[in-house]
Structures are given as structure tokens and as C-alpha cells.
Amino acid sequence: MTGRAVFLDRDGVINRAIIRQGRPFPPANLGDLEIPPGVREALTRLKGAGYALIVVSNQPDVARGKTSRETVDSINRRLAETLPIDEFRVCFHDNKDLCGCRKPKPGLLIDAARERGIDLGQSFMIGDRWRDVEAGAAAGCTTIFIDYGYDERRPAAIDHTVTSLNEAAEIILHMGERKCRPLNN
């Protein structure tokens, strides 16, 4: 396997999460969708450095009957039209479904790696919630936590903590540069 990827959570990472009582929620419709400044530029830089950009997102509100799959798909389509994302992988299950694709389980990342020839040890997972970081760690990726100070559990173990996707991109590009440099003899 030679491919490298940056796995990204959707809500709170590439689009703004809707905050209610200190907790993040997905946009309810296209009208609520907002891409924060700097996201497009950060993703373009990562793509230019040779990383596949794969969104891995839990969307349990579909299983809960709070939103439709069509709404989630329309938001993903709009993001794909605007940002240089290679693929969206979505888990529509709820916790009680006990599936292997719902983060913190690493199924979405492992399946993408297998299908695309991605080396998970050379890849990154960026998320704004504990489930994202723990899924990345379980898959063997370097994890980057965007800490927005949500009123919820923090990840148990984090490789890097940042305050924006742009900061995360800087870390990845710096680390990738070091890994690709020839050794001096």
C-alpha cells in the first residue's frame, strides 16, 4: 500500500456544526450549511501534497428519524461541489445497531483503506469529537483533534490538538515533508 489519506469528520471539521447547549449538531438542511473560512484552502493544500481526502461521518439522525438520507446526501453533494473531497463515507446507523462503521469503530476508515490501497500508518484522522479521534487511533492513523471546547467527553488519547482545520493541515504538511525527505549520509 502506498496511498496516503486524510480522513475528515464532516460536521465541525469541513462545515460548521450547529451548537446547542454546548454540543455540536449537523446542519438540518442546505440553508444551514456553512463552510468556515480557510477550509477550502487547507484541503487544496493537502490534496496538492498527494493526500486522498475522505470524509467519514456518523449521521445517526437518519436512523433516529430526525432527518432524511436525501438531506444528508444533498449536503454532501454541495460540499463535494465546493471542496476537493475525493469521497464521502457515511454511517447512517445509531449506537443500538452495533455496526462496524459507526465511529468510534474504525470500519469506515479500514474499508476505504482496503478499497483504495491506503496505508493507514501514513494517514491522518481529523475530528472534533472523541468518536472521530478514537476511530482514527483504532485504524492506526495519526489523530488530530480540533478542540472547540464542546460540553462533552474528550478523546482518551490524541496525537495533536488544534483549533482549526488550517492548523491541522500545517501539522500534516510538516510531518509529510519530514517523512519524504531523503536521509543525509
Q: What domains are there in the chain, each with its CATH number?
A: 11-38+57-119 (3.40.50.1000)
Identify the active-site residue in 9, 119, 128, 159: 9
Q: What is the pLDDT along the chain (185 residues), one digit of tens a residue?
A: 569 999 999 999 999 999 999 999 999 999 999 999 999 999 999 999 999 999 999 999 999 999 999 999 999 999 999 999 999 999 999 989 999 999 999 999 999 999 999 999 999 999 999 999 999 999 999 999 999 999 999 999 999 999 999 999 999 999 976 554 344 43
Class of residue 42 by CB neighbours under 10 A (exposed 0-12, middle 13-18, buried 19+): buried
23-25 and 18-20 as β-strands: parallel, antiparallel, unpaired? antiparallel
Report helix, strand or coil for 114.
helix
The stretches of the chain forming alpha helices (DSSP H) are: 39-48, 69-82, 107-116, 130-139, 165-180
Dmax (CA) for the chain in angstroms is 61
Report helix, strand or coil for 94.
coil
Q: Which three cell numbers stand for residue 96?
A: 443500538
Only one residue has cell 456518523, namely 58
Q: Note if 9 is an active site residue.
A: yes
CA distance 170 to 175: 9
> Phi/psi of residue 110, each to 5°?
-65, -45
Q: Pick from 41, 52, 121: which is nearest to 83 by CA?
A: 41
Q: Note if 73 is an active site residue.
A: no
Identify the active-site residue in 11, 86, 94, 111: 11
Amino acid residing at 29: N
CA distance 26 to 33: 9
Q: Pick from 117, 115, 130: which is nearest to 161 by CA?
A: 130
> Phi/psi of residue 126, each to 5°?
-110, 125
pTM of the predicted model as reported, rounded to 2 decimal places: 0.93
